[in-house]
Structure 1
């Protein structure tokens, strides 16, 4: 008799669950939340890797309409589409919705990054990051960028008939980021960042299942390693600051360390580290992909390439001897190939 009751209860639980979801569905958009935790994450990630994410979204809109529910990266999500949706998101003034990052980003980049903060904390950290991007600061970064670009071209482009652009642009972007954000020049310390950073990037947008051998798990381990390395850099720069003083425009970490109010640092150590990681991740793929498309345009459009070359040569003529010059468009043949082998 006991076994019969147990079987009945086991059958009753999923039935009650389904009835509850059916009742709630009248108050939420159409669609399915899919498998718990996983939801539609795997399908979305496959579409991203195949470069058909827009089609994936269009298929959902055609099936469920401009508003639908789904589950991405362990969180219930609402997809809204159209002009009215854009107006609702950007003109509501924060009264109806707040920014929320997916769980994987929060856990990998840290809970004190700008995207996770609200109110006064958000304003305080945002002000510190904006000070790094002031026009007078940006002028000082041109020389560093110029140096990195020249070294990169000499190592990877000169004398080559064909090059794979996207992987090289990722390398160049990483080197520039390391120099501008952390003050790391070429050498062993910078090289130690490369592998854990690449592992971290693979799991930033992933299903947040923290078990061995998953991308998320490997990314979390890489994040912990990078944070420990950044702690050492922060401590080194603190010592330099106390001994000799530090140019606040030298790099992002120096800039954030130099911000003091009432003899206290504006940002905590975790805020410095987490936001350095945020800027590093935000600028890596976006910059490298954009530069790749620019080079693709120059390679495929001779008229545009000639006009850009002429413009740069005129700029170079007006520069003083030794003044940084961002170089000229590369004129040899290039092979535009992505990291997954698709040309």
Structure 2
């Protein structure tokens, strides 16, 4: 009872702080963008989130673009005064001014779920990771991993899809992408070991962007518990890897974990075990959640659009027929999957896993004649261009030909963000998605069991029932 009262008092103090914070920033700036800030403290957060829960996250954006401004309007989200930037010109401005006028921002819940062992913020840790990742995630490095992806995809479809008449796609897609991340990041390949991580990771992901109240039963509380459990598991893996490296049983280049253990910073210092665990934890979350959403929607659209499915099937079977018995996919095969990738891009346009992202304003600046105060948050939305007829004709129509030739105009197709903060795992995601598509269409044609299944965005788009489908095995 005592701890419950303390928690309520902490919540009360937190709400007072947010109210004062909100009123202070509301008074700043004489020429703010048009818009309304909604209720005290909560602002327009509930409407912002609820349009996603109802399956139409773009509605919050487009309603205000029509009412206030097609490029920038003000609101209040997650307890913060915010300006929402819309359209290609705004994307270009934000991506070009990263770490000059704006910088990455995460809600407090992220820092609490990912407490850094070095007492630095998620933002600082992300900067360190971005310096480290290119060596591992550049295309020439990733070429070595295509065979591993192919092998795991074969095992995944054999264990989770084959011999079934019906499956639920989203949990299976999560299993596939998580298995890959575990194998390529920390060389954990045994399905039982991977499964031990799976449920805690799901709890962590579902509570990551949530109200930061650490009370039993809340998503945030479950996310913190899951984070602590996974971190302990990772530390045990790290300790064993140190031994294996010293005894020559592991290679310094076999995965990201080995790379972190053998690489020092500019001062010659090596990372501590807990520091490595923090980074691997973040990578495992980022390395599978968004891709599993993309893979699920690929199945959805292939099931709905037979002519698109046949185009992908024809391309993938030409590649399959060129392979010898037991021969794995390679880089050249991936480069031949042009139509398949155009299809995947159209899926990412219509159902972007990354709906948008927040930035924090570093210094007062003017944009389109409006003042944007220091300390405000800026939200950019992928849907403000992806589903906008100004940039994509008939935006609701599924049309992979949009990506032929030079493709969409710059700053209009942004599922991976852009500028210095473009997702460093973009090429990794492309490979795991294409390998998934290859094995899916080679084996099956899918039919949706729930024709009009609702889509929920929280914070990524997912079918409300996980996309159950009926499988028809390819006889040819």
Give TM class, smaller chain: 0.7 to 0.9
CA contact (8 A) 1:199 1:222 kept: yes
Q: What's the CA shift for 1:93?
A: 5.3
Counterparts of 1:153 and 1:42, CA distance in 2: 39
Q: Residue 12 of structure 1 corresponds to which residue in structure 2?
A: none
Q: Which residue of 2 aligns with 1:6?
A: none
For 1:145-164, what aligned pairs fall within 5 Å after superposition? Answer: 145-164=149-168
Q: 1:235 aligned to 220, 239, 253, which one?
A: 239
Query: What is the CA-CA distance between 1:32 and the residue it aligns to?
Result: 1.6
Instruction: Evaluate the alpha carbon distance shift between residue 311 and residue 116 of structure 1 in structure 2; reply closer, same or farther with a 3 A threshold.
Output: same
State the partner residue of 1:305.
309
The equivalent of 2:37 in structure 1 is 32
* Equivalent position SS for 1:117: helix
- Give 2:53's aligned residue: 49
Indicate if the aligned counterparts of 2:73 and 2:84 stay in contact, CA closer than 8 A: yes
Query: 1:100-156 CA distances to partner (integer Å, 9 max, x unpaired)?
Result: 2222223223447996128xx93x532321111133432332232222211221222
Structure 2: state its 5+ residue gaps.
1-19, 330-434, 451-461, 468-476
1:251 equivalent in structure 2: 255
Q: Which runs of 5+ in 1 are unaligned?
A: 1-16
Equivalent residue in structure 2 for 1:335, among 448, 459, 465: 448
Question: For residues 169-200 of structure 1, what are the alpha-carbon distances to aligned partners after superposition, in whole Å with 9 as ceiling and x for unaligned?
Answer: 12211222221222111244322211110000
Displacement over 6 Å in runs of 4+: 17-22
| Cα contact 1:170–1:284 (8 A) shared by 2 | yes
2:99 aligned residue (60, 83, 94): 94
Whose RCO is larger (CA < 8 A, sep 6+)? 2
Question: How far 1:54 moved relative to its partner?
Answer: 0.6
Tell me, yes or no, if the aligned pair for 1:75 and 1:102 is still in contact at 8 Å.
Answer: no
Which residue of 279, 292, 295 maps to 1:291? 295
Whole-angstrom distance in 2 between the partners of 1:302 and 1:97: 44
Q: Between Structure 1 and Structure 2, which shows a larger proportion of strand residues?
A: 2
Structure 1 residues 332 and 125: alpha-carbon distance in aligned structure 2, compared to 1, 3 A threshold: closer
1:190-222 Cα offsets, whole Å, 9 max, x none, are: 222111100001112212233332212221221
When normalised by structure 2's length, the TM-score is: 0.60
Matched, 1:132 2:136: yes
Higher helix share: 1
Query: Which of 1 and 2 has greater Rg?
Result: 1
Using the TM superposition, give the Cα deviation of residue 33 of structure 1 relative to its aligned residue in structure 2, in angstroms: 5.7
In structure 2, how many angstroms separate the alpha carbons of the residues matched to 1:147 and 1:164? 22
2:110 aligned residue: 105
Q: 1:91 to 1:252 in 2, by over 3 A?
A: same
Whether the 8 Å contact between 2:114 and 2:122 is mirrored in structure 1 is: no
Aligned length: 323
Residues 19 and 71 of structure 1: CA distance in aligned 2, closer, same or farther (over 3 Å): closer
8 A Cα contact 2:178 2:288, kept in partner? yes
